[in-house]
Structure 1
Amino acid sequence: MPAAFAVLIGAQLLGEVMQRVLHLPLPGPVIGMFLLAVALLIPCKSWVARRDNEVSALEQASSSLIANMGLLFIPAGVGIVTELAVLKRDWLPILMGLLVSTVLGLVVTGLVMHHITRRAAHPDAEASVLNPGGSL
């Protein structure tokens, strides 16, 4: 399990390094999460391999982090409390940003899910769009 935590932390570190070196507009942990997702798509027996019902070390480490996620919000809560003066001064732009980003996130998620479920329900529709004549 320590190796699995090293993989998770290493992905975050790599994301931070890439963000700073390449001046990317995304946060380092998001880049690291994307890199980890891409790495998990590559077949590698060492970190994702398992036999029948055996759980991999990476799954165990991830599950334990998710199970204790509430503890991970404590530093964020302390940060908010320490910045109450900023919240009091700029409450309206912060509130508007939260509302707009939440609605935008819901709309995009809904549209993506609608598109994916429509494609899954009609797999032949995609083939007819790609090849309207029916022959190559």
Structure 2
Amino acid sequence: MALALRPQTAGRLQRLQVPLQVALYAGMFIASEQLVEWLHLPLPANIVGMLLLLALIMLRVLPLNWVKAGSAWLLAEMLLFFVPAVVAVVNYSQLLRVEGWRIFLVIAISTILVLSATALVVDRVYRFEIWLAQRKQARHE
């Protein structure tokens, strides 16, 4: 009889996994807000929360596979977070007709700058990792 209950229990746990993970993210954000306020950190709470989550995953306090389902669901539902932006575009269409080219130019330049900075950082980190691997290999030889 215990064997018959296991698939039901596993199914329930799977259905609860995403809401529990999203609740974990929300709890970490609230804790990060408190931490930022308490320590007077010059960083926003969402950045502190992401760093805390990264630390928990890297220190293997929180298994990576345990946070995957919640993050995948949030990414899949990300369009819902952009609905207010679409409504704003519809409400301010006159502004976009007059100043739209400037707004587009700022968005294009900032996107190019962010992509360039990201590419530069990734390239530097990659070269640093290659240098570390070569140094480690030279020590072993």
Q: Which residue, 18, 22, 46 being the options, matches 1:29?
A: 46
1:1-136 maps to which residues of 2 (within 5 A)? 1=17, 2-20=19-37, 22=40, 24=42, 26-44=43-61, 47-48=62-63, 55-56=65-66, 58-82=67-91, 94-122=103-131, 123-124=133-134
CA-based RMSD of the aligned residues comes to: 3.5
Larger radius of gyration: 2
Q: Which structure 2 residue ranges, 5 or more long, are not aligned?
A: 1-16
Task: Tell me how many residue pairs correspond in the alignment.
Answer: 120
The structure with more helix, counted as a fraction of residues: 2
Name which structure has the greater RCO, CA cutoff 8 Å, separation 6+.
2
Q: 1:40 is matched by which residue type in structure 2?
A: I
Q: Give the deviation of 1:5 after TM superposition.
A: 1.7
Q: Secondary structure at the match of 1:43?
A: coil
CA distance 1:41–1:120, change in 2 (3 Å): closer
Structure 1 residue 103 displacement after superposition: 1.9
Partner amino acid for 1:48? P
Give % identity: 25
Give TM-score, length-normalised by structure 1.
Answer: 0.60
Gapped regions of structure 1 (runs ≥ 5): 50-54, 129-133
